A and B are shown apart, each in its own frame.
Chain A
Amino acid sequence: MQGRALILGERKDGKLRQVTLEATSAAKKVTSGEVVVLLLGDGSDASTKEMLGAYGADRLLTIEHEALRHYTSDAFMQALRAAVDHVQPEVIVFGHTAIGKDIAPRLAARLGAGLISDVVDIVEKDGVVHFVRPIYAGKAFEERTIEKAPMMFTIRPNNIAPLAESAGRNVQEETLALEIKDLRSMIEEVVKKATSGVDLSEAKIVVSGGRGTKGEEGFKLLYELAEVLGGAVGASRGACDAGYVDYALQIGQTGKVVTPDLYIACGISGAIQHLAGMSASKVIVAINKDPEAPIFQVADYGIVGDMFEVLPPLIEAFKKIKSA
């Protein structure tokens, strides 16, 4: 394909999200055309522009508007439609994020287009692009093709590697003016609940706890470990059902699917519905008292022992490394 690609870029706390660079890389796998990254809300700064250029974007399109500072489907739809009219893309890529997975289906419906969600790999066979995506939370996979342009897809964070950095590549910058009207949703309040700055689905390291944590006390150790490693904390369904932590942390077929570089499971037995949500992690460590726990069957490294005895020295050991 040679048509243009449009990517809905995302920022968190003013910084470009990694998934946007991954989306740029994904776009390049399906088209040799110009890659345009769309940023909504605030204008962009020099470092964002530089980074987008270095990782393969050709053009940066910004729509600055108060109503786009925070996501609502109404405002984002109006902005995306304006951007699609302006860019005339044949490929449209989103991160499979809170925003991307919510808005991409609406835009696809409006454009009468097919959309492939949660893509983890893109392969070409006999000149046809096949998108690989997990089904049943990773218990199985499927490959799909899209019949006609625009080719729309969302990508799962942490799966498609960004392009190699080529510093100093130039990016054209363009601003689109837009009048936004008839908003039906009004944001009244945003409560930051995520304790660390690292989002669970994008985290490179996830420290996760189950019923074996016995509650708050156990999770305190997990948070400490996650902080030392710069990771995020997750939980099994058992831990959430028991009320130890919020459902927002649940990993599994219900809950979130994560694919970090390192997953440390503490006091988690490994029910099949939990394994579906984490077994595609690159390296898995399991700490559990029960040597028969199914979690050990997917773990690269297992420690049979009480997490309350294992975690304190482990945290100390990592602290030593990090301060060295």
Chain B
Amino acid sequence: MKIVVLLKQTFDTEEKVVIENGVIKEDGAQFVINPYDEYAVEEAIRIKENGDAEVVVVSYGPARVEDALRKALAMGADRAVLIEADHPVTDEAGVAEVLAKAVEKEAPDLILAGNFSVDNGAGQVAPRVAEILGLNHVGAVTKVTLEGDDVVVERDAEGDLERIRTKLPLLLTAQQGLNDPRYPSLPGIMKAKKKPLDRLTLSDLGLGDISPRTTVTNRYNPPKKEAGEILQGDIATQVETLVKKLREEAKVI
């Protein structure tokens, strides 16, 4: 069985996001595997460990993404593909078009991806890839069980849990709670350096210029929220003041 994991490299969630003249400043920022994609990598490796599978991680982005792919290889993935672009398109339709082409070449039985990326946050790319490839998908899964060709998954639907039976080939997106990703071991890191990492260009995939369907016209930081007031007095007084202010000043109760 072949598993492809779609992976994006993102800012660490502890990073501040600073925008200057509409451009997000990247210098000095710590980059990580998008946390939701990390669950997908971990799940693919667990499936491999419980049976027999080849795990291929695929990403579209600038050269720095190699670090994230090497980490996935160190965790236990077998091979990586980087579709390299200095300025990858931001429009989700374009990203999905590129990734779908690369995935199609791999002809996997199972595609795993994150539920959304912590930077752009749209959650569009994975379902779009499934649609382009004519595959079924289930989003936000918290448990995956393979039973032959059948796949039983649990999906988080706004707090409720849905148990769904479906079949391979299939695309799943990983929700928090699916697993607890491992740290790469030292031997894993050493091995990862020698694992194959293919670099492709858009023309290698037979793609010309990607024409985006949406355009970003502006980016900015929100106005800084001003600190409010710390209530004074003993606890009974503070509670009384808070209730009064919520009713009369903020009018939310």
| Interface set, chain B 195-253, CB cutoff 8 A to A | 212-222, 225, 227-231, 235-236, 238-240, 242-243, 245-247, 250, 252-253
For residues 62 through 100 of chain A, which have their beta carbon under 8 Å from a beta carbon of chain B? Answer: 70-74, 97-99
Q: Is the CB of A147 within 8 A of B160?
A: no
B136 engages A118 (CB within 8 Å): no
The verdict on A302 contacting B229 (CB below 8 Å), with A105-B123, A248-B156 known, is yes
Binds B, one of A35-43, A164-172, A193-201, A213-221: A193-201
Chain A residue at minimal CB-CB distance from B24 = A140
B137 within 8 A of A: yes
Partner among B16, B36, B243 whose Cβ is within 8 Å of the Cβ of A318: B243
Interface string of A172-212 (1 = CB under 8 A from B): 00000000000011111111111000011100010000000
CA distance A253 to B251 in the complex (A): 28
Most buried by A among B16, B162, B222, B231: B162
Do A272 and B16 touch (CB < 8 A)?
A: yes
Q: Which 5 A-B pairs have the closest CB atoms?
A: A114-B213, A194-B159, A117-B122, A300-B228, A247-B177
- CB nearest to B225 among chain A residues: A298
Report whether A253 and B123 are in contact in the complex, using a CB–CB cutoff of 8 Å: no
- Provided the pairs A74-B136, A321-B243 are in contact, do residues A299 and B158 lie with their beta carbons within 8 angstroms? no
Main secondary structure of the interface of B (DSSP, over half): mixed
Would you call A309 an interface residue if the criterion is a C-beta within 8 Å of the partner chain's C-beta atoms? yes
Known contacts A114-B213, A147-B213: A97-B158 contact under CB 8 Å? yes
With A109-B132, A115-B93, A301-B242: A255-B176 Cβ-Cβ less than 8 Å: yes
Q: Is the CB of B221 within 8 A of A248?
A: no
Give B152-180 as 1s and 0s: 1 = Cβ < 8 Å from A's Cβ atoms.
Answer: 10001111111111110000000111000
Is A279 a contact partner of B225 (Cβ separation < 8 A)?
A: yes
Task: Flag if A109 contacts B96 (CB, 8 Å).
Answer: yes
Residue of B nearest to A147 (CB): B213
User: Smallest CB–CB gap between A125 and chain B, Å?
Assistant: 8
Other-chain residue from A101, A261, A299 in contact with B227 (beta carbon distance below 8 A): A299
Q: Would you call B250 and A147 a contact (CB within 8 A)?
A: no
| Contact among B24, B36, B122, B231 for A118, CB-based, below 8 A | B122
* Segment touching A, from B50-58, B73-81, B113-121: B113-121
Chain B residues at the A interface, C-beta cutoff of 8 Å: 11, 13-17, 19, 24, 35-36, 91-93, 96, 116, 118-128, 130-132, 136-140, 142, 152, 156-167, 175-177, 212-222, 225, 227-231, 235-236, 238-240, 242-243, 245-247, 250, 252-253
A163 interface residue (CB < 8 Å to B): no
Are A185 and B166 within 8 A (Cβ)? yes
How many whole Å from B127's CB to the nearest CB in chain A? 4
CA gap between A301 and B248 in the complex, in Å: 13
18 of the cross-chain contacts (CB-CB < 8 Å) are A97-B158, A98-B158, A102-B140, A113-B93, A114-B93, A117-B121, A140-B222, A142-B216, A143-B217, A185-B165, A301-B250, A302-B229, A302-B230, A303-B238, A303-B239, A314-B243, A318-B253, A321-B247
**With contact pairs A140-B219, A247-B176, A314-B242 given, residues A114 and B127 touching in the complex (Cβ less than 8 Å):** no
Contact of A298 among B19, B227, B240 (CB under 8 A): B227
| A107 → B minimal CB distance (Å) | 8
A186 touches B166 (CB 8 A): yes
Given A247-B177, A250-B176, also A136-B119 (CB < 8 A): yes
In the complex, how many angstroms separate the beta carbon of A94 from the nearest chain B beta carbon? 12
Known: A115-B214, A142-B220; 11 extra A-B contacts, CB below 8 A, are A109-B93, A112-B93, A114-B93, A114-B212, A140-B24, A184-B166, A188-B152, A190-B161, A248-B159, A280-B222, A303-B231
Contact A186 B165 (CB under 8 A): yes
User: By the criterion CB–CB under 8 Å, are B121 and A301 in contact?
Assistant: no
Provide the A232-263 mask, 1 if CB < 8 A to any CB of B, else 0. 00000000100000111110111101000110
What chain A residues lie within 8 Å of B216 (beta carbons)?
142-144
- Interface residue ranges of A118-156 to B (CB < 8 Å): 118, 130, 133-148
Q: Hey, which chain B residues are within 8 Å of A318, CB to CB? A: 243, 253
Cα of A295 to Cα of B73 in the assembled complex, Å:
38
Say yes or no: B17 contacts A205, CB within 8 Å: no
- The yes or no answer to A1 lying at the interface (CB within 8 A) is no
Q: A191-B163, A193-B159 are in contact. Are A301 and B228 (CB under 8 A)?
A: yes
Q: Chain B residues near A143 (CB, 8 Å)?
A: 216-219
CA–CA, A304 and B216, complex, Å: 42
Beta-carbon contact of A271 and B14 below 8 Å: yes
Instruction: Knowing A187-B164, A301-B242, say if A246 contacts B177 (CB, 8 Å).
Output: yes
Contact status B250-A283, CB under 8 Å: yes
Give bound CA distance, A301 to B175, whole Å: 33
Also in contact, A138 and B222, with CB within 8 A (given A117-B123, A310-B235): yes
Question: Which B residues are in CB contact (< 8 Å) with A190?
Answer: 157, 160-163
Cross-chain contact of A142 among B36, B118, B218 (Cβ < 8 A): B218
- A200 and B227 CA atoms in complex are apart in Å by 25
Chain A residue at smallest Cβ distance from B127: A105
When the two chains form their complex, are residues A135 and B119 in contact, meaning their CB atoms are under 8 A apart? yes
Q: Which residues of B contact A161 (CB under 8 A)?
A: none
Identify the closest chain B residue to A186 (Cβ).
Answer: B165
B124 contacts across to A, CB distance below 8 A: 104-105, 108, 115, 117
